[in-house]
A and B are shown apart, each in its own frame.
Chain A
Amino acid sequence: MKRLFLLSTFVCLSLSLLAQGPLERRVDFEVKNSSIADALEQLSELASVRIAFSSDIFPAEKRISFRMRDAMVKNVLSKILKNTGVQYRLVGRQIVLYFKPPPPKEYTISGYIRDAISGEKLIAANVYESQSRRGTSSNAYGFYSLTLQKGIRQIRFSYLGYQMQLEEININSDLKLNIDLKPAITLSEVVVTARPGGEEAATINTYDIVPERYETLPTLGGEVDVIRLAHLLPGVQTGADGVGGIHIRGGNADQNLVLLDGVPVYNPAHMAGIFSVFNSKAIRSARLTKGSFPARYGGRLSSVLDVRTKEGNKKSFRKEINLGLTSAKFTIEGPLKKDTSSIFLSARRSFLDFFVRPISERIKEDRGESGFSSYNFYDVNAKINFSAGDRNEFFASFYKGGDNFHNETRIDFQSPSGNFSFRQLDSQDLEWGNTVASLRWNHIFGNKLFSNASINYSRYQFESSDVFSYEDLLRLDSSSLREFNLGRFSSLIQDVSAKLDIEYVPSVKHYWRMGAELTRHYFRPGVAALNDNIALSFPDIAFIFSSLDSIDNPSIATLEAALYAEDEWQISDRLHANIGLRASMWQIGSRIYYNVRPRLAFSYDLKRDLRLKASYSSISQYLHLLTTTGIGLPNDLWVPSTERVAPQDSWQVVVGVDYRRKNDFDLSVEGYFKKLNNVIAYQEGSSISFINADNWENNVTTGQGWTYGMELFLDKSIGNTTGWLSYTLSWSLRQFNRVNLGETFPFRYDRRHNLKLVLIHKLGEKWELSGNWVYGTGLATTLPISEYQASIPDFPGRPELAVNFGDKNSFRLPNYHRLDVGANYSFGRNVQNHTLSFGFYNVYNRRNPLYYRLSRGTSNPVDPRGRQYIEVSLLPVTPYFSYSIEF
């Protein structure tokens, strides 16, 4: 009986042990100064499991001692095999040990990728090693860093418009390698690219805009414009002919962070958006990010347009002159000290005043008046850079641009009888513009750490002044009447900031970015000063203006600080992520706002040519732009978040898929949903001319927005015929407490459908033909429907004509469409290159309305004109021509 009990117990224990996996069995284990092989045999017996190994894989001299109680076999094994390089796996019910050699050592190559001709750094150039399938891209300053395994490696360096360069390198230590790429003889690359190679594989919807190619597209007035090209991308909306600025995925114009060499530009438009402030001859690269932008960008909810200017040719002096119908440009660049320092200078001035002035003089003459109107704009870009060894680069960049408008009307009247005469002067001046400056220092620590430190300045100012003077010179009662009205309106936003960005490549799977930014903002949201009915003579006008100058204009100062960190993480061969966090602080008076916002973006390569992607981003914005009309007038006011006006914020979700057919085309489809909170607008009926630093908060209303839609981008980038097709299906809604009686309404730039087609065809070496056609659902607008007399019994006040508009933006302008065509002819040798560009904007003369207005005719019931809607359109068919010479 006793034997039977023992046997049963043994069987049960054995079954119990067998029921567990061999690695999970528990043992009490102890070794003292044993060899590893002995320890393994001891463990095999104790756990009743076979352990297969060859004893020569262990160093014979190694001795171990330890004790473990009730420990799993796998834990004991790990302890025994620690620091031996030996690993185990379970094969059937047997544990097999094997030796895994350590991975080969890795070294980092790093350096700058440059243009071989000019020495300019190349941004987003690709670096790729095919054997390990590891790659990266140069950063915004042309720096790259790639970690590879020891051995002979073939590394490919490539960049749009440049000849690919293959370097075979025996990597056995960290290496500094600067690469000079030669420009390609023929250009057959993409105009824009939706996926920037190996870098930022998880960044969604980033478009690199390449200057060499957008210069081939049809232009307006011969003015090549980076923002006009952005209009042709999916998800980018604007008003008729560019008026109204850019609206990305249903966002407001103020929600776009427009950077010039990393410094914000607050009004990137000339002529209400018809032209941009970016002189194409000064631009080296531009990148538009409209999905979930990474944590290094902040302060705007909708998009980032990051424009980098040229540094200047470090090899030789080059000059370029461009003459178009609307402007002239002159550019000079060259080395201050060859290969070490360079200077770049480019200036542009418009010719519009030469057209506007004589036309306006003639119009005034026809009215019996004298005077004229004139308008012009200008831009100056300058940059100096200096290399101090391989590890330090210094830059100083400057931009100043502005618009000037003057109008004056004089009337000298004398009655036929001669007993009455008067003279009248009505004069207006408007000036507005941006000033941007930056001092920057790039430093490379070792091979993996890059830093960029900068001090920046940005200013946008709008000024208007008005003089009205009326004087009776002779009256029957011999007394005379004089009247003067003088007014001045100005607004200002000015930033002074310091910024530090660090990029670190800890391993091939990670790319870290981190940084800090501190900005002092100054606002002067608008000052109106006027002097009415002052009986002074004409020469005293200057005196009055000087006294208006001395008016103390109050300003608001705020402090903004931000810290960010992000990691581009290659989780596996197929899965990439960009994970970031941005913390920011805003202080105005005693009020401080804090925000910590995540940015998450993932991409998964389902196949080699098929990528799924998704992102979530949460963003806060402390600045607001108050606009009366939404068409981007220069007197729109930048105002800060305050105690009463909270910061804007948004969250956005994007999902999409990219398909790339090798050497043929890219297809990208994305869906998005974006929620906007705390956006502000003038409450209905606000009198903008009385808004200043003290009262603007009383004139705004807070609201929210919803935007969602789908975008498709089909891009053919290789061959003699290139181009793209973009389609956007979108909705954008707003709700403000004091607009549209608090009801939700369509945003002005809510276009349901938007289609853009771009084609470029190369004819031989000298000719390029191009065309683009755009189509979009008409913008939302508000029109009067009906009216009645509002005269309430027993109520104070005179009868008013009440106009019923229905709901806000309940009408649509006609669908917008336009075809532009152009051609470029290039000739000349290396010493002198000439380019002729010509074509037509709006070829078939489509009248795309800017707005409608209701003409009420006259009160005469037999007036044949009656009441009618008047359509005001902007640009009919417009030819362009420009010539440039580079020498």
Chain B
Amino acid sequence: MYVLAKARAKSYLTPGKGIEYTPIPWKSAFTELEQLRRTQGIMQHHDAITGTMRAQVLADYISMVSTDVAHAEGIVPSMVAVMMAKAARLRQAFESNASPLPSYSLTPAWKTQPDGSKHMVAVLYNPLAWSSKRIVTVTVQEARIRVVDNNGDEVPSQVRDATRRLLHMRDVAREVWWCSWMVFVGACA
């Protein structure tokens, strides 16, 4: 299903065939999405989505939702373009053994601290309705790396494929709760 959806999305982006879109800067997209989130928040109110409001209030709600959804719909094509570009660049990066996607990707960026040390942050999110514990794999740029969780406790890990610069994190120390997350920090050993 994902492949079909991706193919369809790609066809949308074909010049002359698909929809026309203008890339939207992230900051303005962020602002618009934040506004939609807040409007959607108001809609969960017990006199909104319930339908127990007065007619003029309903009209106001519809106006708010329509405006913000229209902005979000304008963002979606740009999102699809980014996804497609990302997939292509990611594949290219793997094939050429180059550092994949220095600006954004599945590779967490390295941060240089004031003392000169470097670290990367990876967030592991569990979208399931139950806790989960399993081995995860994160692409890294440094092979010599020490991984700790957000409590500072070391997480056992090993490099699975140094050629591709993959870090294979195994035996995650703690379960990730449902709909929750934990943060890993990798620092140069």
A, B: real partners:
no
Residues of chain B at the chain A interface (Cβ within 8 Å)? none
Residues of chain A at the chain B interface (Cβ within 8 Å)? none
